[in-house]
């Protein structure tokens, strides 16, 4: 790898840059002589902040420009939050590594309340996620859920200005930005099942680029890969996107994997849940099996209503 330059495409948000620095450190620990060049990119999703993700095309808006950089040979790898990476990857590209996962759970951030249970009736809670919205309304239908976009610092600033009583963010994002002190409650998965891949960083590359593939594969964290592949199998079967309130969370322990999955209506009136426990090497089959169970139990109707823009679900 001597005298090689590795070009890393990354979003310009503070969290994305922190995640890229994390990966950069990992790479340099394996190969100190490599030259790393960052290719910061502003994505379409970063530019449109006055509309919800579900109305402007979903999570893919945060990765398309990074993928173009790879396809046009302007970068060698791209760094993504795994929760932002669609379950079906562009065919010329591959997910070469998934780094060790941090905390996968959601977090409540509030200046006056220490938990969801403490929020008073009519409290305004900000979130950009239909998944969080659906589960929160199901658990606390007396709360008011209000849209919230922007990077983590922008969202917290809106909270501090009194626009919200509380907001919900990803715990690991706050940890990476050294904002752990802002967390009032790490929300249990039983109340807010995380998004597929939440808490993990993925490295994407060109499929046939042999120059870096083997080297970068050493950054793979085996247990995290098994967990997230299980979660993504569940979501792939449900053809999930940002327009659908869907959660999946797998935990690998002692060669057994525990998968929980959820799909709901955005208004929280319907939430379907299920789980599977099996051996670590059956994770993807478990994901498909659980998805089929939910489809048979009503998920097909939820999906049809969402895709048909039925007013009950928007």
Tokens for 243, please give them.
């327009």
DSSP 287-302: HHHHHHHHIIIIIHHH
Q: What 3-state class would DSSP assign to 210?
A: helix
Q: Distance between CA atoms of 27 and 1, rounded to whole angstroms? A: 11
Residue with tokens 């929300």: 187
> Crossing angle, helix 222-237 and helix 283-294, to 10 degrees?
30
Q: Distance between CA atoms of 309 and 314, rounded to whole angstroms? A: 7
Which of the residues 46, 84, 106, 165 is marked catalytic? 84
- Cα of 124 vs its chain's centroid, Å: 23
Instruction: Please indicate whether residue 73 is annotated as part of the active site.
Output: no
- Comparing C-alpha atoms, which of 199, 207, 267 is closest to residue 227? 199
**Would you name the residues annotated as active-site residues?**
84
């Amino acid at each position: 790898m001597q005298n090689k330059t590795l070009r890393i495409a990354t979003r310009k948000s503070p969290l994305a840059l922190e995640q890229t620095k994390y990966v950069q450190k990992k790479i340099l620990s394996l190969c100190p002589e490599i030259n790393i060049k960052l290719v910061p990119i502003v994505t379409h999703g970063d530019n449109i902040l006055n509309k919800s993700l579900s109305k402007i095309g979903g999570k893919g808006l945060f990765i398309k420009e990074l993928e173009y950089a790879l396809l046009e040979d302007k970068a060698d790898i791209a760094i993504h939050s795994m929760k932002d990476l669609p379950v079906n990857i562009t065919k010329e590209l591959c997910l070469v590594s998934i780094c060790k996962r941090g905390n996968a759970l959601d977090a409540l951030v509030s200046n006056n309340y220490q938990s969801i249970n403490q929020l008073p009736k009519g409290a305004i809670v900000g979130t950009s996620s239909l998944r969080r919205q659906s589960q929160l309304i199901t658990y606390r239908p007396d709360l008011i859920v209000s849209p919230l976009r922007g990077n983590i610092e922008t969202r917290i600033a809106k909270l501090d200005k009194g626009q919200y009583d509380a907001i919900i963010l990803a715990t690991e994002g706050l940890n990476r930005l050294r904002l752990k002190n802002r967390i009032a409650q790490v929300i249990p998965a039983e109340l807010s099942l995380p998004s597929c891949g939440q808490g993990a960083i993925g490295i994407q590359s060109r499929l046939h680029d042999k120059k870096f593939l083997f080297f970068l594969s050493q950054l793979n964290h085996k247990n995290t890969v098994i967990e997230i592949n299980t979660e993504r199998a569940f979501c792939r079967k449900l053809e999930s996107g940002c327009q659908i309130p869907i959660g999946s969370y797998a935990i690998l322990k002692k060669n057994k994997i525990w998968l929980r999955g959820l799909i709901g209506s955005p208004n929280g009136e319907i939430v379907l849940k299920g789980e599977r426990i099996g051996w670590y090497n059956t994770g993807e089959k478990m994901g498909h099996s659980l998805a089929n169970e939910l489809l048979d139990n009503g998920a097909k109707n939820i999906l049809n209503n969402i895709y048909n823009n039925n007013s009950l679900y928007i």
